Amino acid sequence: MPHTPEPDEDHDLYASAPPQPVFHVEQALLGALLLDPHRLGDLTGITADSFSTAAHTALFAAISALPPPDPDEHAKNATWLDLVLTTARQQARGLTASDLHALVQVCPWPRHAPAYARMVEAEHARRRLEAAAERLVHTVHDASLPHPVQTVLTEADALATVVDDIAARFPPRAGVLPRTAAPPPPAAPDYLEAIEEERLLLATATAYPAGIDAVPWLLPGDLVVPLHAGLWQCLNALARRKEPVDPVTVLWEAQQRGLLDDGSDPGEVLRMLAEPAGSVEHWGERALQRSLLTTAEHTGQRITAFAGDPANTPFQLVLGARRALADIGAVRTRWQHATTPPCCPPPPRRPAPTTRAGRPTTTAAHATRPVRAAR
């Protein structure tokens, strides 16, 4: 994300590094408002927080807070501009009168202020989405959390709220998904621990096949090792067909499904399936929790990648983010089934977003689930 200077930093509107396009759009909007302050009334939904720099934020806040001047008086003198500068410098001390003059000079057409505001709002939406997605990924990696799943799901809800808010400001229309390449799925947290726990899951399910029916919410894709995922399918198939289940029958089923074609040692598979411990429900829940956290991390990474690409429109961001969030929703439903006691109904699901939203909050310019990747 672009660096936002602290309010007390000396600020130059013209940084040494080439500014992003939104910087020039913000300049045009502020210039329009300095020239014609009454045009502020044409803008809705945009706030000082929508701007990308401390100086621009301070100027828009000052313009919004001060009563607009009399148009005739404003055309004759710079009294109101001086007041804007004085007010804005309380938050950005580096501002000068020449900065305001430069903003006025770079504004092509003051009457296009609503269009400029729409662009600023779109860029702000992209930054908000990127920040919310990054918070989700950070939460997944926070080892200090006493209840990681609930905290991650809460953060996912916060991200979904941002997406819904963007959709309300930018009503969906026919479009395409973001063309930004999605990052590869992340490695499961505690990979070695995951391997050991999955081995115990498979061995315990082999020793106590009745426990397989108690974990219908656990899918092969929740396991991090492809061979383990295949063996879990074998166990479920044998249990479903009510055939004998033991290490030998599971091994034979694995051969029939081609799971040993990669060179897996049949003897090692037999030894793995012969060492049960604990319960199927316990190891299944551990695998599902790991799957949920990995899914949340990948969702956050995907949305971060979408939002980090300025070529994506708000409409594309909303569509791509909702597709990504659907993956969390699917795992979340299974997690609720796994952890909710039979006597208690699962918590209500988050209401689905409406297919159409209200009108944009800034005035338009005048006329002139995918399938989860294998790990």
Residue 251 and residue 172 in contact, taking contact as beta carbons nearer than 8 Å: no
Give residue-wise pLDDT tens across range 245-281: 999 999 999 999 999 988 889 999 999 999 999 999 9
User: Average pLDDT for residues 161-178, to the nearest whole number?
Assistant: 85
Over 50: is that where the pLDDT of 148 sits?
A: yes
Instruction: Judge if 265 and 173 occupy the same domain.
Output: yes
Structure tokens given for 300: 């956050």
**Total Cβ atoms within 10 A of residue 103:** 23
Instruction: Judge if 35 and 171 occupy the same domain.
Output: no
Structure tokens given for 293: 């956290």
Which range marks the domain in which residue 245 is found?
A: 126-375
Instruction: Judge if 150 and 81 occupy the same domain.
Output: no
Instruction: Judge if 84 and 192 occupy the same domain.
Output: no
Instruction: Judge if 170 and 26 occupy the same domain.
Output: no
| Helix/strand number for the chain, H first, E second | 13, 0
Give residue-wise pLDDT tens across range 174-195: 667 888 888 888 877 678 899 9
The answer as to whether 352 is a domain residue is yes
Residue 218 belongs to domain with CATH number: 1.10.860.10
Domain stops at, among 108, 142, 176: 108
Instruction: Judge if 69 and 195 occupy the same domain.
Output: no
Instruction: Judge if 160 and 215 occupy the same domain.
Output: yes
Largest CA distance in the chain: 95
Instruction: Judge if 301 and 273 occupy the same domain.
Output: yes
Instruction: Judge if 93 and 163 occupy the same domain.
Output: no
pTM of the model: 0.80
The answer as to whether 270 is a domain residue is yes
Q: Looking at the 3D structure of the chain, how many domains does it have?
A: 2
The answer as to whether 115 is a domain residue is no
The answer as to whether 6 is a domain residue is no
